[in-house]
Structure 1
Amino acid sequence: MYMYLNGQIIPEEEAVISVFDHGFMYGLGLFETIRVYDGHPFLLDDHLHRLNEGLQEMNIEKSFGREEIVSVIQYLLEKNDIKNAYIRWNVSAGNGMIGLQTDQYIAPNTIVYIKPLPKAEGIMEKTGQIVTIPRNTPEGAFRLKSHHFFNNILAKREIGTDMTIEGIFLTNEGYLAEGITSNLFWVINGMLYTPSLRTGILNGITRQFILSLAENMGIVIKEGMFPLDILADAEEVFVTNSIQEIIPIKRIDTYGYKGLKGTIASVFHKEYRKYSNQLWSVKELGGIKE
């Protein structure tokens, strides 16, 4: 496969960066995972907004616009002869001396990974499992999609390699938080519930899409600090992320749900597919974002 590194399209085996990159030394880096549907990078503007906001928070002198990103993605798609793809747009702080740096990073490394995905078709189903390790708190004012993933790795070790299981975090106080690689939703009496950003979760791009879609459909949305036992009353549970889309959950520990038979998750999935090869931003839907 060919990938992108600092302005060049190169074979992946030729991609190298310095061992003095502070993304490697201190975890100062961010990434976005973007799914491309038949050549279209879905909700790209929202990914860029989150990325640029995070770069500013990390004091990395870099920002990206749609035209630049689309040009790179299209080139990678053509060079690798694929139309449907997983894109990881990664920005690492760049080189520095040994020791913590307070000055702005002015020469970050931009690395774009790509791998082919099958054409989007059916909806998948998973089982949820509450993990014992609590979700760590954000290191700053809000959670960044950063290189700091050890909390997620520890949770993944608990559930193992089975791809049909999604681990679900609780906060240290016992509130429902998010999946290891996803945001969490559930339905009670036709109302849509999801943990608040105040729990320290990532404000996922697909999460934002679902909230806007739900408001447009007239579905009551409840965001808050919810204990685990609220899931005993749920009829549907599903998780979301930008690559796996909307994934119904059929069971979490001893609680059973509708899974693939869930009405609201199915409607959301159909709407998601309707827009996946055309929308650039959640704003095109209207609705809300927390």
Structure 2
Amino acid sequence: MEIYIDGEWFDKENARVSVYDHGLLYGDGLFEGIRIYGGKIFKLKEHILRLFEGARAIRLELNLSLEETMAAVEETVRRNNRKEGYIRLLATRGRGPLGIDPFSCPRSTLVIIADDISLYPATLYKTGIPIITASTRRLSARIFDPRIKSLNYLNNILAKIEARDAGCPEAVMLSEEGYVAECTGDNIFIVKDGHLLTPASWHGLLEGITRNTLLELAEKKGIPSKETTLTRFDLYTADECFLTGSGAELIPVISVDKRMIGDGKPGPLTARMMKAFTELIYS
């Protein structure tokens, strides 16, 4: 495995950043998770655009242009001969002295890893997963804009701990007002009366690349879809439910807080969206 760090290549055992890197010390940085399907990088430009928008928002000066960053990602995939897999791209404030002052870091750090990822066992994509709603709330958009995909995921990790303690692989996080936002690493969809519904971005969720792809697919397939406000009641009474994300892809949900969704099996519209997504990524 060859890992990119600031223009150089290192094997896995020797790929290191400084303990004085502010990404490590303070979570000062951004990341993207990107899929590789059939030797092609899925939605690369969309991911890199999001990275650059996040960098502009937090005043993080990246050392490469957008085109150069895309080329570095492509070269990482080529060097590792990846036909399938997952890319983790990290952009940190870089090395600096102790103290949170971002302007004390003279140069940002860019890391690109191409590896495998498996968030859920393959069998669960056929049977579906149970999830819970976490008591840990999603950070309010009034406090921190969720469109900034930052390195600090402690809020999500605490909700993931709740899920694991409950014997579930995933948890739904509610907004400060109690509306459904997203899961710890995935966006969430429900099906109700043939309509595909997902929480609107103003409820404090990250607009995932896979989420937006599913909404585009629904429109092309003539499936009514809407970004809206959802509560736990809407989850409990849904006909179907599924999660989306670059890591998770699309996985069915069969229960929420021990309330069975539909007949407790992945539903027909979920199966249709899974098929459409698979056809898209390998087209």
TM score, norm. by length of structure 2: 0.87
Residue 29 (structure 2) aligns with: 29
**2:256 corresponds to 1:252:** yes
Contact persistence 2:138–2:155 (CA under 8 A)? yes
Contact persistence 1:82–1:116 (CA under 8 A)? no
Letter in 2 for 1:99: G
Counterpart Cα distance in 2 of 1:263 and 1:24: 44
Shift in Å, 1:5: 0.7
Q: For CA contacts below 8 A with separation 6 or more, give which structure has more relative contact order.
A: 1
SS at the partner of 2:137?
Answer: coil
Contact persistence 2:200–2:229 (CA under 8 A)? yes
SS at the partner of 1:160?
Answer: helix
SS at the partner of 1:172?
Answer: coil
Residue 274 (structure 2) aligns with: 269
**2:268 corresponds to 1:237:** no
Match for residue 132 of structure 2 among 129, 133, 141: 129
SS at the partner of 1:148?
Answer: coil
Residue 52 (structure 1) aligns with: 52
SS at the partner of 1:173?
Answer: coil
Q: Pairwise mapping of residues 96-107 of structure 1 onto structure 2 (< 5 A)?
A: 96-101=96-101, 103=103, 107=107
**2:15 corresponds to 1:15:** yes
Identity %: 32
SS at the partner of 2:196?
Answer: strand
Residue 285 (structure 1) aligns with: none
SS at the partner of 2:113?
Answer: strand
Q: Pairwise mapping of residues 86-97 of structure 1 onto structure 2 (< 5 A)?
A: 86-97=86-97
Letter in 2 for 1:179: C
Shift in Å, 1:274: 1.3
Contact persistence 2:134–2:159 (CA under 8 A)? yes
Where do 5+ consecutive residues of structure 1 fail to align? Answer: 279-290
Counterpart Cα distance in 2 of 1:68 and 1:8: 13
Shift in Å, 1:169: 0.9
Shift in Å, 1:83: 1.6
Distance 1:72 1:161, change over 3 A: farther
Letter in 2 for 1:13: E
Greater Cα shift, 178-187 or 80-89: 80-89
Distance 1:261 1:110, change over 3 A: same
Contact persistence 2:145–2:204 (CA under 8 A)? no
Contact persistence 1:48–1:64 (CA under 8 A)? no
Contact persistence 2:97–2:105 (CA under 8 A)? no
Distance 1:229 1:247, change over 3 A: same
Residue 227 (structure 1) aligns with: 231
Letter in 2 for 1:266: A
Where do 5+ consecutive residues of structure 2 fail to align? Answer: none
Counterpart Cα distance in 2 of 1:27 and 1:239: 26
SS at the partner of 2:188?
Answer: strand
Counterpart Cα distance in 2 of 1:174 and 1:163: 23
SS at the partner of 1:19?
Answer: coil
**2:215 corresponds to 1:214:** no
Shift in Å, 1:242: 0.9
Letter in 1 for 2:46: D
TM score, norm. by length of structure 1: 0.85
Letter in 2 for 1:65: L
Residue 281 (structure 1) aligns with: none
SS at the partner of 1:229?
Answer: helix
Q: 1:181-220: per-residue Cα shift (whole Å, max 9, x none)?
A: 1001001101111111111111111111111111222222
Shift in Å, 1:103: 4.1
